[in-house]
Structure 1
Amino acid sequence: MDDCVFCKIINGDIPSTTIYEDDDIKAFFDISQVTPGHTLVVPKKHVKDIFAYDEDLAERVFKKIPMIARAIKASNPKIIGMNICQNNGEIAYQSVMHSHIHLVPRYSKDDDFSMHWGDNTGLASNEELQKRADNIKQHLEA
């Protein structure tokens, strides 16, 4: 897309610090550097979000995540963990509408990155949970 910042980065119209690139993806530092080494893995094909991937593209993009994550971790002995996030839609904090995966190295509990997971344990009955599961299952593609 002409106005997509990630497409412009992929095309070389906007500079980036690239750490990996092949025919399918480009991995480059997020400009915000939430933590040192914060990397985005972006498919070169413009897809808006996870819902727009076909099986082939998903395989080609997501199979590279472990390799890139291991390289980031190996690059700094102070990295003790990593968050891998893929947001879909504004409600889920997607700010650029070109699919991307965040690899956020973690150095300590005080490294200025956090996620909050609400705990709704016990709010739904086993029957309600099964009904939700059955509803999702009927929409799975084989």
Structure 2
Amino acid sequence: MNDCLFCKIIKQEIPSYKIYENEYVYAFLDINPVSDGHALVIPKVHAENLTKTPDLYLVEVSKARKIVAEILQSKLNGVKGFNYISNQEAIAKQVIFHYHEHILPKFKEDEGFLHDKNVNLKYATLEDVFNEITK
């Protein structure tokens, strides 16, 4: 889709901090992180939400979530767990209508998982987090 933000990121028309990619998926750091390492995994086919995404891509997104979580766990100090979140439709707070999964590293028990509950981030910029993940 021509005006889809995530499709533009996949085509590299918009820059991103890519942390994983294969033939079917693209994973990158969220520009409005809820926690350090907050990443998104998106299919390389445009589909508005989970129920409209072809099964092959759903499987690949799921496999990529595991790979990305392992990357974040091994590279970011203090990751104790994760939230995996996907919203479907505006009523559920979906903002970008290209299916995506959030991966939120958890560093302490009382961290929220919604965008309006940001926690104190250890890293000053996304570039700092990216550099930590990719070193």
Q: Shorter-chain TM-score: which interval?
A: 0.7 to 0.9
Aligned to 1:12: 12
Write the distance in 2 (CA, Å) between the matches of 1:39 and 1:54: 22
Classify 1:114/1:26 alpha carbon distance in 2 versus 1 (closer, same or farther; 3 Å). Answer: closer
Bigger Rg over Cα:
1
Deviation at 1:110, TM superposition (A): 4.2
Partner of 1:47: 47
For normalisation by structure 1, the TM-score amounts to: 0.75
Contact 2:83 2:113 in 1 (8 A): no
Which residue matches 2:108? 108
Q: CA deviation at 1:100?
A: 0.3
Equivalent residue, structure 1, for 2:3? 3
| 2:122 matched residue in structure 1 | none
Q: Does 1:71 align with 2:50?
A: no
Structure 1: how far apart are the matches of 2:54 and 2:26?
Answer: 18
Q: What does residue 30 of structure 2 align with?
A: 30
Question: What is residue 57 of structure 2 aligned with on the other side?
Answer: 57
Which segments of 5 or more consecutive residues in structure 2 lack a partner in the other structure? Answer: 115-135
The unaligned stretches of length 5 or more in structure 1 are 116-142
State the alpha-carbon separation in 1 of the partners of residues 98 and 48 from structure 2.
Answer: 4
Q: How many equivalent pairs are there?
A: 114
Q: What is the alpha-carbon distance in structure 1 between the residues aligned to residue 10 and residue 52 of structure 2? A: 19
Q: For residue 60 of structure 1, report the CA deviation from its aligned partner.
A: 2.1
Distance change (3 Å), C-alpha of 1:114 and 1:101: closer
Q: What is the rounded CA distance, in whole Å, between the counterparts of 1:64 and 1:27 in structure 2?
A: 8
What is the distance in 2 between the residues matched to 1:57 and 1:12?
A: 20
Q: Tell me which of the two structures has the higher relative contact order, counting C-alpha pairs closer than 8 angstroms and 6 or more residues apart.
A: 2
Give the match for residue 21 of structure 1. Answer: 21
How far residue 7 of structure 1 moved from its aligned partner, in angstroms, is 0.6
Counterpart position of 2:81: 81
TM-score normalized by the length of structure 2: 0.79
Any runs of at least 4 consecutive aligned residues in structure 1 with deviations exceeding 6 A, and if so which? none
> Identity over the aligned pairs, expressed in percent?
35
